[in-house]
Amino acid sequence: MTFWARTYDFLQGDSRTSSLVRVAFSVAVVLLIWEILTATVVTNRLLLVPPLEVLAALGRELANGNVWTNGVATGVALLVSFPVAVFIGVAGGLILASNRLFSLTAGPMLMALYSVPVVALAPLFIAWLGLGFASKFVIVSLVAVFPVLVTTEVGLRATDKALVDAARSFNANGWQIFTTVTLPYALPYVVSGIRVAWARALVGIVVAEFFGSFAGFGFAILAAGQTFDTATLLAYVILLGAMGVVGSLVFESAERRLAPWRHE
């Protein structure tokens, strides 16, 4: 096998090293394209600045402590609201999957709520709950709960009937079938939903901090945009992107541990 063939097979692998290498490669490609764009196409620094200027702005924000202040505000809201959204989503998916009538009745309303843009509701929640943590908690929970709920229901309903029949042939009761067949089969779906929910939670926290916060990454992005500080704005956007990538890798690793047969 040639070097390029081995490299291609390695990059397609499911190992943690392969995932990190793919992420590093994609980041390098984006940075290269970004540098070329700022040097040849978008020369207006109000629109786009080179990566090194963004790195310098990030260094300044780290030095003056703004990153830590804003990071704590954003991180606390996410660490509290995201697990709550996951719990509600999984519980709701279990209820919908176990009761077809309830699923058919509540499904259209849930889809309507899922389709409503969070930007449209954010001012309402802030008017009801005020500025600060409460409004951020509700907004993030609302945008993150639906992907988990939907994928949990789909995963539970998608369980292979042959596996369920095999468990019943060994006199397994309902609880045993759920814990040994249905739930393990649905776990990859649930984790996929959590990965999507994490990305939506990051969007939700930024929207919430745009409208109703005096600290946080969203607040910093809004402040930088109002002063046309493009480098600082992009620095915080990159931090949010990094949080998204790290979260995705963590949940991917969790799926590999919880459902190893999917990667064999």
**What pLDDT, in 10s, does the model give residues 156-206?**
887 777 777 777 777 677 777 777 777 788 888 888 889 889 998 998 888
* Ramachandran category for residue 132: left, alpha or beta (phi over 0 → left; psi -120 to 50 → alpha): left
Q: What is the rounded distance in angstroms from the CA atom of residue 215 to the CA atom of residue 206?
A: 11
- Of 194-203, 230-239, 244-253, the poorest mean pLDDT is in 244-253
Q: What is the rounded distance in angstroms from the CA atom of residue 237 to the CA atom of residue 252?
A: 23
Per-residue model confidence as pLDDT tens digits over 90-145: 888 888 888 777 777 777 777 777 777 777 777 777 777 777 788 888 888 888 88
Q: What is the rounded distance in angstroms from the CA atom of residue 197 to the CA atom of residue 146?
A: 8
Answer yes or no: is pLDDT of 84 > 90.
yes
Q: What is the rounded distance in angstroms from the CA atom of residue 227 to the CA atom of residue 13?
A: 45
Quick one: 197 exposed, middle or buried, by C-beta within 10 A (0-12, 13-18, 19+)? buried
Confirm if 100 and 156 have CB atoms less than 8 A apart: no
Of 37, 70, 63, the C-alpha closest to 51 is 37
